DNA sequence: AATGAATGAGGATTCATTCAT
DNA sequence: TATGAATGAATCCTCATTCAT
């Protein structure tokens, strides 16, 4: 007995798809990817297990879609705030914005890490292509925005910079989200303070440094 | 088929342990962590499944030991080459050395990524502590070496720098080791060239930039 | 190969559950609990391994359900036959009925033995409670029936008597179901005749004796 | 490197065997049979794992020997105390002695239960024979003692009585040693008091009743 | 006789995915 | 389109036992 009204037109289908994405994202806040199973997602979404597969061919595809959605959300916010700088941004301010927007999405970097480790391992060509196209488009757009915000960036350097920052964030999330036991080790054992990263603080410092590096290379021959 | 005689003294036991570590490491070159099972490791080592558990209490402990060993190997080489610079290193040369030593260990950064995602999730306190102590010690030592190589680094800044570089590498490996299918997408689709990272090249450029950033911050108030 | 259509309503689900219970019970006739695995049960039931877990959360829960079902069946028959005595039963007749009904269920007492040794070790509170409630209810009801059948039993003594008889049967089954090898020893070696119990015969004699004991204590102060 | 002095004569061998039996018995006080492994026994005995197999061919044989030893100890004590009655025992006193001697050995009845379920399943013919011979001898001897203590017992009825009592005890131990969770259910849920057996109390009452039954059957034709 | 390193059989359970209804 | 019953692959670890030393 189907409890839910059928989604007969595209709008309803998109709406249902959205419900699933949000269910998955919600579960991901508090659980590791492996701990989340499709039954949970379906339950949170108020749908049946089989229904999930009407919208996403695999678990990986589902979370890749979550990834895409969150990525767009982050990039949108990021660009909006960067635009607010009005072309007079400096390294520190840009770094601040990146940290602030990411701090509001603590699970996003964790999702990034899974992207390359798990999600991309089990999808089909069109899905991979679509995702990469999206990512490419946004990276390029972000690059343009960065170039507009940071006067010292030369044309074309923005996208590269965006990718590097993205790369650094990918690593940073892993170091700043240790397993509970490791967190305990760091907290209790003397000398382990070096590992007691704070994401926001590190992000701020490292991205600033990085941008300063870029600025000071601007007169050298390109990377 | 390696040695079959029983390991009756400590030396032989260490040797056998080594055989297991190498078997695991070898399998890891071509397989994801999840795909590798203890039976495989035992088989490659020429031992029985149960024997593995005489040397390592869990699969995670085994790969953590692999990690420790490879880490030490890399740090040793890294420091040796950095020492060769004789205190007159610049950002670019240091970056070169990091890239070169890592290029000889293409699976190492992948192992790093697993460290924080999987390995540290399922080990006990003493194991975690021992590993973190090792890591701490080597990071600090590397920091000292970096300070010696890069004159612009202030005392105490070396370890921080080492950690940042390590962080960046962690992220970089994920981007430069895409799944086969994703690699295909990148290769075949137009415009995807931006994602066609070459690990060595990116590493070189980004680490250099980063170090330049550090150099140019040296007169500002600390991070 | 039993029904293969899906169990979509409660009736069909109960039917399928029943098929599983019967498969487990059938296997238990000829195998020890440890020797039986879920794959066997599934196979006999004509289902897949995973399907078993849709109906029973653990192996223990499955066999506890078998136990409950067989218990009810036995108690039903027992009470029916005891009721047939019409309140003029004596020790011997009651003992006969117990023996006769149990003789038709040679594996039941073996299942009882496992109940306390294995099944109750690995179940959750609600399951344990439900089973104990069932057992309690039937023991009490049997007690009432016994009181009706055996005039010398005082009010309230029936349940106690039922439990004692149950206790004795529990022990008796262990002695009358020796391992094949032990059976061989008993058969071939001289003087071992003492151990050559016949369940029915022993049950008859011992329960009779026990009830006579109760009868003759009736004038003394309570047990 | 053998840590222990070698047992070169029979006396030393027996002594070492004894150490193993006591280690096994000690571990059995607080652990289920399945939880105990040979490595533990060896460790407690201060010997190596392999050494255990010089004295007992299998785990089952080891615990069967434990059983034999404890059985003899119990029977010895039982007979001694029964002899103290001086031929003027009544049902109640005999029951008291049985309960008292068993109460000092809370793990013994648990061992009995395992005997028929596990131990006898995996031993060889000579071992089974030897054990059964021992058991037979002691049952018969206990029978004689019982006949001496209980005047109403007819010649030859003692052994039968001993076996019946043994049978009852076998069942009783299972009901009086519920799994922790079941114990909780019994304690917390209303009406479950019926299952809150006390071994000693039940034993006393039931054995007494049983013996009274025997006494009152003495004029009827034999069981 | 003693050791302990080596062996390898053995099994319940989860869960992504399919498909009959 | 929705459901949820059915599937079955996939795997780490224990531990009794053996046997080379």
**pLDDT band of D222, cuts 50, 70, 90:** very low
pLDDT confidence of residue D71: 93
| Contacts with A33 (C-beta within 8 Å, 6 or more apart), sequence order | A63, A114, A118
Task: State the total domains in chain B.
Answer: 2
- Which residues in chain C come in under a pLDDT of 70? 1-4, 218-223
Shared-domain flag, residues C63 and C39: no
Shared-domain flag, residues C77 and C24: no
pLDDT confidence of residue C11: 92
CB A95 within 8 A of CB A207: yes
Shared-domain flag, residues A152 and A196: yes
Q: Give the torsion sign (CA, B125, B127, B128, B133).
A: positive
Shared-domain flag, residues C12 and C87: no
pLDDT confidence of residue D147: 93
Residue pLDDT, tens place only, A187-214 = 999 889 888 878 888 889 999 999 999 9
Select from D123, D125, D210 the Cβ nearest to the Cβ of C213. Answer: D210
Q: Is D182 on the interface with C (CB under 8 A)?
A: yes
Average pLDDT of the segment spanning A28-34: 88
Q: Which of B19, B34, B55 is the last residue of a domain?
A: B55
The span from the CA of C65 to the CA of C51, in Å, is 16
Average pLDDT of the segment spanning A128-143: 91
Residue pLDDT, tens place only, B116-175 = 777 877 788 888 899 999 999 999 999 999 999 998 998 888 988 898 888 888 788 777
Residue pLDDT, tens place only, C40-88 = 999 999 999 999 999 999 999 999 999 999 999 999 999 999 999 887 7
A36: pLDDT strictly greater than 80: yes
Q: Is A9 on the interface with B (CB under 8 A)?
A: no
Contact (CB<8Å) A182/B132: yes
Q: Which of D15, D34, D55 is the last residue of a domain?
A: D55
Residue pLDDT, tens place only, B5-51 = 788 899 999 999 999 999 999 998 888 888 899 999 999 999 999 99
Q: Is D192 on the interface with C (CB under 8 A)?
A: yes
Shared-domain flag, residues A15 and A87: no
The span from the CA of B159 to the CA of B139, in Å, is 6
The answer for B 128-157 residues in CB contact with A (under 8 A) is 128-129, 132-133, 135-136, 139-140
Chain-wide mean pLDDT for chain D?
87
Q: Which of A55, A71, A93 is the last residue of a domain?
A: A55
Shared-domain flag, residues C20 and C94: no
For A46, left (φ over 0), alpha (ψ -120 to 50), or beta? left
D1: pLDDT strictly greater than 60: no
The span from the CA of D74 to the CA of D68, in Å, is 10
**pLDDT band of B219, cuts 50, 70, 90:** low
Contact (CB<8Å) C170/D166: no
B222: pLDDT strictly greater than 60: no
Shared-domain flag, residues A132 and A93: yes
Shared-domain flag, residues D62 and D33: no
The span from the CA of C131 to the CA of C70, in Å, is 12
Shared-domain flag, residues B116 and B202: yes
A220: pLDDT strictly greater than 60: no
Contact (CB<8Å) A132/B195: yes
> How far is residue A178 CA from its own chain's centroid?
18
Average pLDDT of the segment spanning B88-107: 87
Residue of C111, C127, C161, C174 for testing the chain D interface, max D β-carbons within 10 Å: C174
Shared-domain flag, residues C121 and C166: yes
Contact (CB<8Å) C167/D166: no
Q: What is the extent of the structural domain holding C48? A: 1-55
Say if D and A touch: at least 3 Cβ pairs within 8 Å: no
The span from the CA of C128 to the CA of D186, in Å, is 10
Whichever domain contains B50, its CATH number is 1.10.10.60
B39 touches strand F (CB under 7 A): yes
CA of D37 to C1' of F15 (A): 7
Whichever domain contains D73, its CATH number is 1.10.357.10
| Contacts with B108 (C-beta within 8 Å, 6 or more apart), sequence order | B70, B71, B74, B102
Average pLDDT of the segment spanning B164-193: 83
Average pLDDT of the segment spanning D111-117: 79
**pLDDT band of B220, cuts 50, 70, 90:** low
Shared-domain flag, residues B35 and B63: no
pLDDT confidence of residue B21: 96
D190: pLDDT strictly greater than 70: yes
| Closest among D74, D53, D204, D93 to D141, alpha carbons compared | D74
Q: Which chains touch A (3 or more CB pairs under 8 A)?
A: B
| Closest among A74, A65, A75 to A19, alpha carbons compared | A65
pLDDT confidence of residue D218: 57
pLDDT confidence of residue B221: 46
Shared-domain flag, residues A121 and A22: no
């Amino acid at each position: 007995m189907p409890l839910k009204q059928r989604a007969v037109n595209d709008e309803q289908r998109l709406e249902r798809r959205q419900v699933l994405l949000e269910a998955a994202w919600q579960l991901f806040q508090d659980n590791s990817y492996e701990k989340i199973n499709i039954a949970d997602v379906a339950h949170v979404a108020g749908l049946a297990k089989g229904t999930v597969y009407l919208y996403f061919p695999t678990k990986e595809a589902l979370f890749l879609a979550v990834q895409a959605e969150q990525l767009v959300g982050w990039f949108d916010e990021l660009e909006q705030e960067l635009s607010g700088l009005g072309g007079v941004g400096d390294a520190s301010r840009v770094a601040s914005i990146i940290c602030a927007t990411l701090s509001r999405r603590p699970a996003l970097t964790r999702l990034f890490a899974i992207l390359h480790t798990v999600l991309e391992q089990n999808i089909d060509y069109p899905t991979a292509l679509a995702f990469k196209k999206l990512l490419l488009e946004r990276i390029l757009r972000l690059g343009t925005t960065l170039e507009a915000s940071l006067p010292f960036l030369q044309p074309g350097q923005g996208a590269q910079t965006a990718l590097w920052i993205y790369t650094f964030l990918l690593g940073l999330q892993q170091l700043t989200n240790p397993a509970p036991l490791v967190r305990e080790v760091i907290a209790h054992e003397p000398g382990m303070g070096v590992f007691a990263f704070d994401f926001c603080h590190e992000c701020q410092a490292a991205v600033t440094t990085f941008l300063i590096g870029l600025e000071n290379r601007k007169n050298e021959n390109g990377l």
